[in-house]
């Protein structure tokens, strides 16, 4: 039976040595297809990026800080791309700093506030692994030399759970179950289920020493905040970069007004609770939305709209591609990136794969009318469609060359 590679007319050797691409210094089409994001790249968003960098500088201060930035742009205007680039920069930064951040991305219209908390805790585990620890709870417990250090935890049940985990990490620990199986690792996993709002059996609650389920996002947020604040004091985790994407979908997904209001209130509570006085953890929240989504947010919860910095003058407005010269600029960015990535040997300058006519065709393909913008800005170029158009132009050239006569 033929393999998929054979059915596609290629072999494993051909995939990375396509003669058409190699002629131009590539190993693949330099332009991503189907809205694929190359997070390392960002074109023509210096003002927005400067605002992000400025806020990162602020949340890196010695005292915990909370900051937010609203990112506004039309559909397909690069909002998700901008968020991914910021996440990429933060992940790169945390590799070389003693101030590690958990990096979290959430789609506003496809998640609950409870799931948001669980995702923050999951990504906190991933951030802690960079230091060689198994997860956040393990690192937290191991950072304590004495169980009395956990007296700083204000939530009584959380304090008891952490004390239990500390004791379970000691050599003389006696497991709370009859079979002696509930040692540190099973108890830690049980604690993570509880922190994530899962319903525990009566036996599991008895082993863990808790009486109630964390049945609301507010209760989960309080416990999460205590854990992150304590972890910051211990130098385990400095803070959280939380990217909330597609805010507009929250208002277009058929949710009831009560559910939308509940979600926004929980999000506001999570933001406010991150820092209380000099206590807490650093939180940088990036929220991306279309203009209509931002307007809906303003109408539903103006205090949160303000907190997320969606007001004019505070937010970051993403710039569209304005003319064909910028089409050349973004095309060159992706072409140079692919040539650097491909690392093909060459003794001469690579030929240009795109003509001026190609750039003009891609520009007109991607030009749309956005009636949500001011009349002077109604014509814009959708970056996602532009990259797709450039991708297709390159693929057409390749197909014309390899197609048998």
Residue by residue, pLDDT tens for the chain (405 residues) are 666 666 666 554 445 578 999 999 999 999 998 788 999 999 999 999 999 999 999 999 999 999 999 999 988 889 999 999 999 999 999 988 888 999 999 999 877 899 999 999 999 999 999 888 999 999 999 999 999 999 999 999 999 999 999 999 999 999 988 888 999 999 999 999 999 999 999 999 999 999 988 989 999 999 999 999 999 999 999 999 999 999 999 998 788 999 999 999 999 999 999 999 889 999 999 999 999 999 999 999 999 999 999 999 999 999 988 888 899 999 999 999 999 999 988 767 899 999 999 999 999 888 864 544 444 444 568 888 899 999 999 999 999 876 655
Distance between CA atoms of residues 155 and 219, nearest Å: 10
**Phi, then psi, of 195 in degrees rounded to 5:** -65, -30
**In the chain, what are the domain boundaries?**
18-40+322-402, 46-124+236-317
End-to-end CA distance of the chain: 28
Distance between CA atoms of residues 356 and 404, nearest Å: 27
pLDDT in the model for residue 243: 98
Q: Are 275 and 263 in contact (CB under 8 A)?
A: no
pLDDT in the model for residue 376: 43
Q: Are 274 and 238 in contact (CB under 8 A)?
A: no
pLDDT in the model for residue 322: 83
pLDDT in the model for residue 377: 46
pLDDT in the model for residue 384: 84
Residue 82, SS3 per DSSP: helix
Distance between CA atoms of residues 379 and 89, nearest Å: 31
Closest by CA position to 287, among listed 238, 248, 239: 248
pLDDT digits (tens, 9 = 90+) for 255-287: 899 999 999 999 999 999 999 988 999 999 999
pLDDT in the model for residue 93: 94
Cα separation values, 319 from 135, 162, 219, Å: 40, 48, 40
pTM exceeds 0.85 for this model: yes
- 239-245 and 275-276: which strand pairing? unpaired
pLDDT in the model for residue 2: 64
What count of Cα atoms within 13 Å lies in the side-chain half-sphere of residue 359? 16
- How many residues in total does the chain contain? 405
pLDDT digits (tens, 9 = 90+) for 290-317: 999 999 999 999 999 999 999 999 999 9
Structure tokens belonging to residue 244:
């909330």
With vertex at residue 316, the alpha carbon angle to CA 315 and CA 320, rounded to the nearest 5 degrees, is 140
Structure tokens belonging to residue 254:
């058929």
The CATH code that applies to domain 46-124+236-317 is 3.40.50.300
What number of other Cβ atoms are within 10 A of residue 379's Cβ? 13
pLDDT in the model for residue 155: 94
């Amino acid at each position: 039976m033929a393999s998929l590679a054979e059915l596609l007319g290629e072999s494993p050797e051909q995939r990375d040595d396509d003669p058409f691409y190699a002629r131009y210094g590539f190993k693949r089409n330099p332009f991503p297809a189907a809205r694929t994001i190359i997070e390392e790249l960002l074109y023509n968003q210096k003002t927005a990026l400067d605002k992000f960098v400025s806020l990162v500088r602020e949340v890196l201060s010695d005292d915990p800080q909370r900051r937010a930035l609203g990112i506004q742009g039309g559909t397909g205007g690069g909002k998700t791309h901008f968020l991914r680039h910021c996440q990429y920069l933060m992940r790169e930064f945390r590799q070389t700093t003693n101030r590690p951040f958990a990096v979290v991305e959430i789609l506003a219209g496809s998640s609950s506030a409870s799931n948001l908390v669980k995702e923050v805790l999951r990504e906190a585990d991933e951030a802690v692994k960079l230091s060689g620890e198994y997860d956040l709870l393990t690192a937290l417990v191991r950072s304590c030399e004495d169980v009395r250090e956990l007296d700083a935890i204000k939530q009584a049940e959380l304090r008891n759970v952490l004390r239990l985990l500390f004791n379970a990490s000691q050599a003389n620990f006696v497991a709370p179950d009859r079979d002696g199986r509930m040692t540190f690792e099973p108890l830690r996993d049980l604690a993570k289920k509880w922190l994530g709002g899962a319903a525990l059996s009566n036996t599991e609650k008895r082993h863990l020493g808790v009486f109630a389920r964390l049945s609301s996002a507010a209760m989960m947020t309080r416990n999460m905040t205590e854990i992150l604040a304590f972890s910051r004091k211990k130098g385990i985790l400095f803070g959280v970069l939380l990217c909330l994407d597609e805010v507009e979908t929250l208002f277009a997904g058929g949710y009831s007004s009560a559910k939308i209001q509940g979600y926004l209130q929980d999000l506001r509570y999570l933001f406010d609770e991150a820092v209380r006085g000099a206590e807490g953890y650093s939180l940088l929240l990036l929220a991306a939305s279309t203009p209509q989504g931002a307007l809906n947010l303003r109408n539903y919860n103006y205090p949160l709209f303000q907190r997320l910095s969606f007001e004019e003058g505070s937010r970051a407005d993403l710039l569209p591609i304005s003319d064909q010269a910028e089409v050349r600029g973004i095309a060159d960015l992706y072409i140079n990136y692919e040539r650097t990535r491909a690392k093909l040997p060459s003794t001469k300058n690579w030929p240009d794969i795109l003509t001026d006519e190609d750039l003009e065709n891609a520009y007109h393909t991607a030009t749309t009318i956005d009636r949500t913008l001011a009349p002077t800005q109604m014509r814009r170029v959708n970056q996602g469609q532009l990259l797709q158009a450039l991708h297709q132009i390159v693929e057409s050239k390749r197909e014309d060359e390899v197609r048998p006569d």
